Structure 1
Amino acid sequence: MNRTRNTALLGALSSLALALTGIGTAPSASASDNGQSLRPAMGWSSWSLVRRTPSEAAVEAQADAMAKSGLASHGFVYVNLDDFWQKCDDNGFVVDSYGRWAVDSAKFPSGIKALADHIHAKGLKFGFYVTPGIAKNAVTRNTPVEGTPYHAQDIADTSKSEKNYNCKNMYYLDYGKPGAQEFVDSWARQFASWGVDYLKIDGVGSDDVADVRAWDKALRATGRPINFALSNNLPIADATTWKELANSWRTQGDVECYCGPGPNGSGYPLTDWSHVSSRFDSAASWAPYAGPGGWNDLDSLEIGGGDQVGLTADQRRSVFTLWAMAASPLLLGTDLTQLDPVDRAMLTNDRLIGVDQDGAAGERIVNDGSRQVWRKREANGDYVVALFNTAASGSAAVGVTWQQVGFTGDGEVTDLWSGKHTGVVADSYSATLRPGETRLIRVRPVS
């Protein structure tokens, strides 16, 4: 990996971002001040591809491929292990002596710290996964809370079951009881000692605000910089709370279609156009809440495997364009060891990455059925404009006037996908787009 180039690129993007400004009025709630994710996270996550069978070898292979492919030098640095790293028995999660989930040693024989060390040795960052609550096995065994006189039965609310997608059998924590925060603190210290740089807490809803607050406090107390992500399909009614406490939040359910040939719908295809196109509306609704320190997460970016992911090349470019205009985290879900050359060219397009990393979420200014136009305004007076035909069939002419974009007169246009300088265009811009196609341009108003 060319670390010098990587550092230079990220520095350039940071400088660019500091020169940009949002176009809408942001909600009054402040963003998380934990110092993380001043720009959306970029990397890879295991869920789309590996699903329920992650392993030490599989995750290390993706980290190696991220570095070798050159993606890391364009800013893709997180390697995130999602669910199913844990060991289960008939009563739920197997736990350690302090009531925390035990690692499945058959999948990770060297342990999680060794996996993190391997990833860090590549110049990358390691992401991990948890859900709220406390395991039934911890309560049954009444395990002690590390460093305290309290035990699992002192802090568990056994009248309520927490959401969990793996071993189930999780109880709520009662944060009115002494020892509950200390239990989460203990878990966070363990993760920090393993080298976790990014933590996804899944199964979060309105009833879990206390858990999110506890984990935010616990992660800060470790002294380790940890990017804090929430999942999934979080209610927008609590958006200001998520923004205050976390660095990103999933705005919808899974982007995966679960329509592959393997167990639980695993394997290719990973997604389909309906699972992507539904995100246009939610991205528009959530746009005011995004900004440095906290981002609207549209879920995994299913680019890298070519057409087999379930999207055409036009649709994949539209996915990247929407994610970039929304300033969503760019967490790849595909097999980086088999990177499609067309997709590699997409993912290493620094003009697109720059749009994602510019520090602001765009807004939708045209919503005419399948014809959509989004914009961002930059502090130097430029605009970034995205035109979409979201239809599954049939070409469409999509247009926008410069007045709708935010200025009048002529505009000097550059196509950001191709890098081609179109020249000066008067009054408006339009393009005939194939189904699922996009056009992304930078416009400089001409005095």
Structure 2
Amino acid sequence: MRFFPSYDLMETVRNTQQWMGSSALSFASYPAFSLVSNPALTLMAAWGEVTERAYKRMVAKPDWGIHSVLCEDGRDHLVSVEKAVERPFGDLIHFRVQDREARLRKVLLVAPMSGHYATLLRSTVVSLLPDCEVYITDWHNARDIPVSEGKFDVEDYTLYCVDFMKELGPDVNVIAVCQPAPLVLAATAYLAEIFPEAQPSTLTLIGGPIDPDATPTEVTDFGNRVSMGQLEQMSIQTVGAKYKGFGRQVYPGLLQLTSFISMNLDRHSKAFTEQIFRVARGEATDLDPHNRFYDEYLAVMDMTAEFYLSTVERIFKDSEIAKNCFTINGHPVDIGRITDVAVKTVEGEKDDISAPGQCVAALDLLTGLDAKKKASHLEPGAGHYGIFAGSSWRNNIRPLVLEFIDQNARQPAAKLTAVT
């Protein structure tokens, strides 16, 4: 599977499915057929429309689609997406709200590199924009990065986070969502030792696998069952000649998507079946709940092979973060060096990816941090997605995170207004 023809074969299958959907929609929508009502043709057109849209989204990076934000003056202010730092494997971008004074709360959202684009956190960004200056890591699709740019593994990811935090300064408040939580914790410890003046003001870890063995899930069980050789053989492919990253070893987004869907195959099958009938009845729209969710969920990106394999081996199998034995370029990173950064963990009661216990384990590693600077929250009834998006995030977790930032920010507390 590590030869590029297998990568091109997956893209050929995807392209064929998209073509079949488009063809079915065109054929069933032929004007002459409208002279006689035919439910079979209506269903064929609906199937074609849903199929074409689904397979088309798999190779397109979603747009941020954040055009304006309502501010305290009662007016909508335009939002522009600007690159603060541009790097080969990922950029640091800033959502600048025009004609508005800069907010004192400066927030860096560290997006996961786990198959989806950073736009997965769109609703998180929207919820923070009225009260914060929001920055986010925008990771690139590995298939579009030339081999000449070199490797990118967990250590490189961590150093990217270090550079982004140094760029934003010590008044930044970092929020790491899911996969990057252990690496951002390591990046903060690295800064505490090497560049203490660049440490962030606060660090919030949301649903991350700090200690995957604290509460085993299907994800951690899979990592323990499969050897690294088997994983490499099953998962790694070589980017084909169609893309800039020709020759780069990757874990393809399409292969990742297959794994995502197989975990909840019944639910996804039911969702698409119901959507076909909604389209046939004329009840579906571009912005209906199904399309809003799946337009983002189906948009996947390739990860570099070395990042995926080193994540599985070092974070899940060897538990280097949980054992406090992570190294960067041979330099040991001691999480106990963090003494001046307030840390909060957030977990979901029904999280089946990073189960309760995995993220809060970070607080035990912070041996040098005063107990007053540690906090944790377990959100009742919330799943993995709900702890950073949806009603649980908006109504419960977001206010708590902003309150935590206000209580521990390095700026004078009087300058910050708590959000409830």
TM score, norm. by length of structure 1: 0.28
Structure 1 or 2: more helix by fraction? 2
TM score, norm. by length of structure 2: 0.29
Higher relative contact order (CA 8 A, sep 6+): 2
